């Protein structure tokens, strides 16, 4: 087995790789099912379940420790590099597109992630079983300690460094490489192990790095970015969802963006000095054709989105300023007020940002409006409110503002872009206006006349 110093490094990198697997899976499934609390809970819970089963299995292994450990880590690396790739997930969801995506996620976690974690989890108990009995208790504590330190560094470095600067495909590849090196370091037949690594690792590089470079113009810690060029327009896709469009002829965006601009232009507060906040930058197309006046500030949680959009989509600097920060943090910290706040963060096909769909968020938006300012928000929903999500979104927005009206971009499909235009209560009239008209009074006529004078 390993000497003390080698064992410390071995356990550190085992812990590093183990926690990296969890973050990799969370990030890889985001384009397919989002990153909601529900998704996160399934990933963490099934991860811990596989960890527990692996610990128990590893504790039962009392012979051929190095052989079993090396084989386990090799299997984990191979499964992660191939079945944990974005390409494999794309194929899975392509053939299950009519199935509930959460159900597909659970099956994927049980069939793909669980075996990977199961093999890696056996490391500590196998190492402890290989120790002498009189020292096993102390060494077990040390093993857990060094592995947990590896967890700590692995979680931070994988997300904040590797995913942020190089992308998820490199995070997968680096973690696979670490597992392969751990397998090689403890292997009793290093030539054979190295031979198999030389065969499999190039395949993993192609599946992850090459495929990603072909599919995506860029990757960030939050999203995969694609640019699709058609005959008449160029599209920016974020996590497999169409986010923005520029028509090749006149650089016009999607129709709902044009409607939002029309709403802003027709408002009395519209001028060259109007302050406009856009939550959810997308492709920065609100004023890509430079026909909208005002001082525009874009806010998006992904601080790399501006450089990506300018380089691959707009092909020029954005018209406005940009801050890469969580929208709710921005609203709490910002001291000024806006004439217009555009909330356009709900384009994803399979998920919505949960923290931007609550009454607390929309009330926070309302607090940053000037007295006569308006919020304009785009939601992809059922315009007839025939499903729970659409109806509750409608309830939430209307409960957050004094008044709202909606406009629908076409009615051809059941799910469309529904634009909400909302304003605050200027004169504390909510209690009075929340009342309804009844047969036994003449309030409608009186209120109608008063509204005209």
pLDDT in tens, the chain (453 residues): 667 778 889 999 999 999 999 999 999 999 999 888 899 999 999 999 999 999 999 888 878 888 999 999 999 999 999 999 999 999 999 999 889 999 999 999 999 999 999 999 999 988 877 765 546 556 677 788 889 999 999 999 999 999 999 999 999 999 999 999 999 999 989 999 999 999 999 999 999 999 999 999 999 999 999 999 999 999 999 999 899 999 988 888 999 999 999 999 999 999 999 999 999 999 999 998 888 999 999 999 999 999 999 999 999 999 999 999 999 999 999 999 999 999 999 876 667 888 999 999 999 999 999 999 999 999 988 888 888 989 999 999 999 999 999 999 876 666 788 999 999 876 666 665 666 777 776 677 777 667 666
DSSP secondary structure letter of residue 61: -
Sketch the domain layout of the chain as residue ranges: 4-215, 251-447
User: Cβ distance 286 to 263 under 8 Å?
Assistant: no
Q: How far apart are alpha carbons 181 and 16 in whole angstroms?
A: 13
Phi, then psi, of 371 in degrees rounded to 5: -50, -40
Q: Which CATH architecture has domain 251-447?
A: 3-Layer(aba) Sandwich (3.40)
For 225, the 3-state DSSP assignment is strand
Query: Edge to edge, what strands does the sheet with 233-238 contain?
Result: 218-219, 224-229, 233-238, 241-247
Alpha helices, DSSP H, located in 157-267: 164-165, 168-186, 190-205, 211-215, 255-265
Nearest CA among 323, 222, 252, 229 for reference residue 281 = 323
Contacts with 347 (C-beta within 8 Å, 6 or more apart), sequence order: 238, 241, 242, 243, 280, 282, 380
Q: How far apart are alpha carbons 26 and 209 in whole angstroms?
A: 18
Beta strands per DSSP E along 9-138: none
Q: What is the pTM of this model?
A: 0.87
Nearest CA among 104, 101, 109 for reference residue 350 = 101
Q: How far apart are alpha carbons 183 and 175 in whole angstroms?
A: 12
Strands 275-279 and 338-343: parallel
b/e per residue, 310-347, with b = 16+ CB within 10 A? Answer: bebbbeeebbbebbbbebbebbeeeeeebbbbbbbbbb
Q: How far apart are alpha carbons 428 and 424 in whole angstroms?
A: 9
Contacts with 449 (C-beta within 8 Å, 6 or more apart), sequence order: none
- pLDDT, position 140: 72
Phi, then psi, of 268 in degrees rounded to 5: -60, -25
For 374, the 3-state DSSP assignment is strand
- pLDDT, position 135: 62
User: Cβ distance 239 to 223 under 8 Å?
Assistant: yes
Residue 78 CA: distances (Å) to CA of 81, 189, 207, 303, 316: 5, 18, 12, 33, 42
Nearest CA among 331, 343, 371 for reference residue 260 = 343
Q: Which fold has domain 4-215?
A: Growth Hormone; Chain: A; (1.20.1250)
């Amino acid at each position: 087995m390993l000497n003390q110093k080698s064992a410390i490094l071995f356990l550190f990198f085992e812990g590093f790789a183990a926690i990296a697997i969890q973050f990799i899976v969370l990030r890889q499934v985001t384009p397919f099912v989002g990153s909601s609390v529900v998704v996160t809970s399934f990933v963490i819970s099934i991860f811990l379940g596989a960890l527990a089963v692996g610990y128990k299995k590893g504790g039962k292994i009392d012979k051929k420790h190095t052989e079993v450990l090396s084989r386990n880590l090799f299997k984990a690396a191979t499964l992660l590099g191939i079945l944990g790739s974005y390409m494999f997930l794309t194929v899975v969801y392509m053939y299950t597109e009519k199935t509930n995506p959460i159900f597909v996620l659970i099956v994927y976690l049980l069939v793909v992630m669980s075996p990977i974690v199961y093999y890696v989890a056996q490391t500590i108990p196998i190492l402890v079983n290989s120790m002498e009995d009189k020292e096993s208790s102390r060494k077990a504590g040390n093993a857990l300690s060094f592995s947990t330190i590896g967890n700590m560094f692995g979680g931070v470095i994988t997300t904040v460094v590797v995913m942020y600067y190089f992308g998820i495909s490199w995070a997968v590849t680096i973690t696979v490489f670490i597992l392969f090196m751990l397998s090689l370091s403890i292997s009793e037949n290093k030539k054979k192990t190295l031979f198999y690594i030389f065969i499999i690792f190039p395949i993993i590089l192609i599946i992850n790095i090459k495929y990603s470079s072909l599919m995506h113009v860029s990757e960030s810690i939050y999203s995969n970015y694609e640019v699709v060029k058609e005959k008449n327009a160029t599209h920016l896709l974020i996590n497999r969802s169409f986010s923005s469009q520029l028509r090749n002829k006149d650089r016009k965006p999607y129709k709902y963006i044009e409607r939002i601009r029309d709403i802003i232009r027709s408002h009395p507060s519209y001028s060259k000095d109007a302050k406009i906040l856009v939550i959810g930058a997308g492709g920065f197309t609100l004023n890509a054709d430079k026909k909208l006046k005002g001082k525009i500030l874009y806010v998006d949680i992904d601080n790399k989105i501006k450089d990506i959009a300018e380089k691959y989509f707009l092909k020029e600097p954005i018209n406005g300023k940009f801050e890469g920060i969580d929208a709710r943090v921005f609203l709490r910290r910002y001291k000024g007020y806006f004439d217009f706040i555009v909330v356009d963060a709900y384009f994803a096909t399979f998920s919505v940002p949960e923290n931007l769909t609550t009454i607390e968020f929309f009330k926070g938006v309302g607090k940053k409006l000037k007295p006569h300012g308006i919020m304009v928000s785009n939601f992809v929903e059922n315009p007839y409110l025939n499903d729970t999500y659409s109806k509750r979104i409608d309830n939430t927005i209307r409960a957050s503002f004094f008044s709202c009206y909606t406009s629908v971009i076409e009615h051809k499909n059941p799910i469309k872009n529904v634009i909400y235009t909302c304003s605050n209560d200027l004169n504390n009239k909510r209690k009075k206006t929340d009342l309804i008209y009844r047969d036994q009074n003449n309030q409608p006529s009186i209120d109608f006349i008063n509204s005209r004078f």
